[in-house]
Every structure is written in structure tokens, then in C-alpha cells.
Amino acid sequence: MSKNTAGQAIKAQAALADTRFKSYWLDSIDVDDDEAALQHDDRCDLLVVGGGFCGLWAALQAREQNPERNVMLIEAYSVANGASGRPAAIMSTSVMHGIDNTERIFPADVAELERLGRENMDAFRATLERYAIDCDLEWGGEMKVSIGDQGLEAIDDDYQLYLKYGHDAVRLDKAAVQAEIHSPIFHGGTWSKQRCGTVHPGKLVRGLKRAVLTAGVRLYENTPLLAARKTAGGISVDTPGATITARKVLLATNAWAAGHPHISRRVAAIRDRIVVTEPLGEEQMQKIGWQNRQGIYDTRTQLNYMRLTADNRIVFGGRLDYFYGNDTDPTLDKTAQPYIRLVQSFYRTFPQLADEIRFAYAWSGPIGLTTRMAVHYQKYFDGNMVFAGGYSGFGVTASRFGARIGLAIVDQQDIAETRMQFAQTLPGYIPPEPFRWLGARITMYALDTLDEKGGWRGWWVKMVQKMGFPITM
């Protein structure tokens, strides 16, 4: 370790001295009391399992489509316990983890998936208005940036795709991107301006929970699904206090599904980390620019992403990790140590703030990762129980779409969307433990040291790409 890097690490440690290791989004609002846990056996037409964005959107849309339908939603802990209470919450129009990823996985369907993405975002917005959900929406757009020159080709490719599919996008050269956001490491960017931006996910999830209750969904928190089996009456779901018999079940359990022996063949529980600064003062805001308040992310696999909060904190994320056995609650992530490298990335991005900034919050969250990086559907019990998930790093708004199609699939509706490839096929196979853990560690190490050391690392990264993962360096 160079003297400079060691110095930065010590500075980062000090900046994390008073940090709270919990989600800023949930700590900064009044969260509603939990709904009671289920204590009596019950029946329903549709049981949704998991109270994140996907489950809440599924339950809400099910009741909106048919107000007579008897819909139950069970959540193992409190709603927003998972990724939905912890994202950066940069909103994208894409329902397939970005326009470039859409072209990578479904090249023949890009136009239609983009159209569905626009439709989804308009319906998302209309729903928030209908239920008066106030969640600090800011429509500053999403901006992808190149760190140094390495990502410029990807930025150009994205820009061409944006033009081809009718986005209101601009390509920014080094001077233009640095005029927007004063970071010396940004060498170019593509800024898509319409139907995207940022949201307060804690307020959004709280609003969706209230909407779900208003719509007549029967919601039970602290009620985990323990087991499910096919019975004459439908599907029986055991919880600690009662058994539910449901005609249909939609599993919206995201990364937790990686603990399920079948689902986990295609889903891994990856960890993604975030640090949040204290609110910036006026002078500090001037130092960074960012007048248009875009949601920003870069082109690399070990990427960084960032945004501002309503009270001008910087939310800065990245440093993916994996814990043995798809651990969805690693104790290590409640300490400063795993956030030090993220803070060092922050210093490289905003060196003008490095000597004066402190981090009020740090946390990590579970990402349900697949080779596609986008929602897919796994069918069980003759298609009457469906897992919908795998949004990877882009699910805040895509989960509304994923839930809508998940409902259509579990209801066995023959509509244009359920005939599309994304709904009909599965992402690639991911090996089980201990190969999963070993593979993840080697990949992360290879990505961190490839530039410096080369050698076998390039070969390894290519092999992981061949497995279907969209790795960039």
C-alpha cells in the first residue's frame, strides 16, 4: 500500500467514526407501525410473499385490476426490510437494467421493451399521484459517466442506442460533463433527461404500503413463509402462526430466494454498499456543481453511483461483495471496515470535499443477481406459484413492471408481454457453494487488480463473461 493510499484509508476511517450503520431512508422518516403477524389459518385467491417494491406493486395492481380479488401479502420482517429500503433509488426508464443491457440480452425486443419501460414509468407516476404518495421525486434524469477514458466507447454506444430508441439524451464531452458535475475523473457522459431521476425510497415504500392497505390487501408483517406445498385446495403456505391456502402464489422475495435450492440455481444474493454524507452547505454545493441533480453511475462492473437527497447529502454507492451461502444479513457490513474503499472512491470522485466531509450513514443491501441482471420468472406447482425477481441493481421502478407481468404469468394470461422472450426463458445457471463463493471472490479480486497486475485476471474475467455475466473492467 502506498503512503498516499494508507493516508486516505486513515482519513476514511476517521470520516466513518460517527456513522450510523443503517439505512438513511428509513431512519430519516416516521415509519408506520408494523401490521400484525398472521395468527389464524386463512384462505385467499392470491398470496404475495415479500414486502419490497415488487411484492407491494404486485398486491396493489392485483386489487386494482380486480377489486373483488382476495389478496394477502406476507412479509418476513417489516416492509422495506430488503433492497427496497436501501437503494440509491436512481430511477431509470429501462425495465431491463439499462438500454445497453436490454440490447445485450434481448436484441430483437429492444424497441418493445423500451416502449414498455416508458409506459411503466408513466403508470408509476400516475399511481403516485392517485394515492398522493409524496416521495421527493426529482426528474433530473440519469447520467452514465466514463471514469477516465476507459468507458468512453460504452458511453458512445449508449448514446447511439438512446438516439435510436427516441430518448431525449445528450452526449457530454469531458468539459461538458465536468461543467455539470465537478469531478476530475469524469471524462464523458450520456445524460438521458426524460422519465428518470431520483426518489426517496423510504417514503415511496411507506406510501405504497398505505396504498396497498387502502386498496384492501390483507397485509401481515413479521410473517415469513416457512414452506409451501401443493394441496387439493391450491397451495398451502406455512407461516409460524398459521397456514394459508392460496389459489395462486407470487414470490417476490428477491435475494432471499437465493436460499431456496431451486430458485438459487439462477439467483445469487450479492451485497451492494452505500455511504451518505452529512448535508452539504452552500459553499460545498458550489464546489461540486450538480445543479441539475441527475442520478449518476459509471460504466464499470465494480461501478460507483451517486445522487443527491432533498437536503443535499451525497448518496454514494458501489463495492459489490458476496458472502458465503448467499448471506442476506452479514454482520461485517455493520462496521466501518468494508466501507473504507467506498469512501476512498468518493475522495477520488470529489477530491475537493475529501478534507471536510463526514459520513452520517453507511449500509449494504441484498441484490438478487442473475446473469441477465433483470427480472425473470420461475414457475412451480403447475405454474400456480411463480417467483418474480432478479432485478439486480435496477429495480426501484422496473419492479412495477416485473410485478405486473408476474401477475399475468401466475394468472396464466395469454397477453403480448407473456409471450415475449424475457417472460418465457430463464437466465443462466450459477454454480452452488463452495464454487459460488470462490468464483465471486476471485472475480472481485481480478477486477480490483486487473489494471495493475494483468496476467490470469484477463482470462478469468473473459470466462465469467462467457457464463453470461456482463462484466466490464
Ligand X SMILES: Cc1cc2nc3c(=O)[nH]c(=O)nc-3n(C[C@H](O)[C@H](O)[C@H](O)COP(=O)(O)OP(=O)(O)OC[C@H]3O[C@@H](n4cnc5c(N)ncnc54)[C@H](O)[C@@H]3O)c2cc1C
Nearer to ligand X, 21 or 77 (CB): 77
Nearer to ligand X, 77 or 381 (CB): 77
Kindly write down the DSSP assignment for every residue of 81-147, as one continuous string.
-SGGGS---EE-S-SSSSHHHHHHH-GGGHHHHHHHHHHHHHHHHHHHHHTT-----B---EEEEEE
Nearer to ligand X, 346 or 460 (CB): 346
Nearer to ligand X, 87 or 234 (CB): 87
In the complex, minimum distance from the CB of residue 453 to ligand X, in angstroms, rounded to a whole number: 28
Name the 3-class secondary structure at 351.
Answer: helix
Query: How far, in Å, CA of 364 to CA of 86, rounded?
Result: 7
Name the 3-class secondary structure at 411.
Answer: coil
Residues 6+ apart with CB under 8 A from 189: 143, 144, 145, 146, 155, 171, 172, 176, 177, 180, 296
Name the 3-class secondary structure at 237.
Answer: strand
Name the 3-class secondary structure at 317.
Answer: strand
Query: To which residue does cell 429501462 refer?
Result: 94
In the complex, minimum distance from the CB of residue 306 to ligand X, in angstroms, rounded to a whole number: 10
In the complex, minimum distance from the CB of residue 459 to ligand X, in angstroms, rounded to a whole number: 30
Q: Report the candidate in 447, 344, 358 with the shortest Cα–Cα distance to residue 2.
A: 344
In the complex, minimum distance from the CB of residue 468 to ligand X, in angstroms, rounded to a whole number: 19
Query: How far, in Å, CA of 163 to CA of 140, rounded?
Result: 19
Name the 3-class secondary structure at 462.
Answer: helix
Query: How far, in Å, CA of 346 to CA of 187, rounded?
Result: 16
In the complex, minimum distance from the CB of residue 77 to ligand X, in angstroms, rounded to a whole number: 5
In the complex, minimum distance from the CB of residue 363 to ligand X, in angstroms, rounded to a whole number: 7
Nearer to ligand X, 91 or 110 (CB): 91
Nearer to ligand X, 79 or 288 (CB): 79
Nearer to ligand X, 82 or 188 (CB): 82
In the complex, minimum distance from the CB of residue 201 to ligand X, in angstroms, rounded to a whole number: 7
Q: By beta-carbon distance, which residue lies closest to ligand X? A: 395
In the complex, minimum distance from the CB of residue 272 to ligand X, in angstroms, rounded to a whole number: 4
Element housing 320 (H / E) = strand 314-322
Q: Report the candidate in 246, 274, 269 with the shortest Cα–Cα distance to residue 380.
A: 246
Distance set, CA 183 to CA 7, 147, 174, 290, 364 (Å): 21, 10, 10, 10, 25
Nearer to ligand X, 342 or 408 (CB): 342
Give me the residues that bind ligand X (CB under 6 A), please. 49-55, 74-77, 81-84, 86-90, 92, 224-225, 252-256, 272, 274, 305, 317, 365-367, 389, 391, 393-396, 399
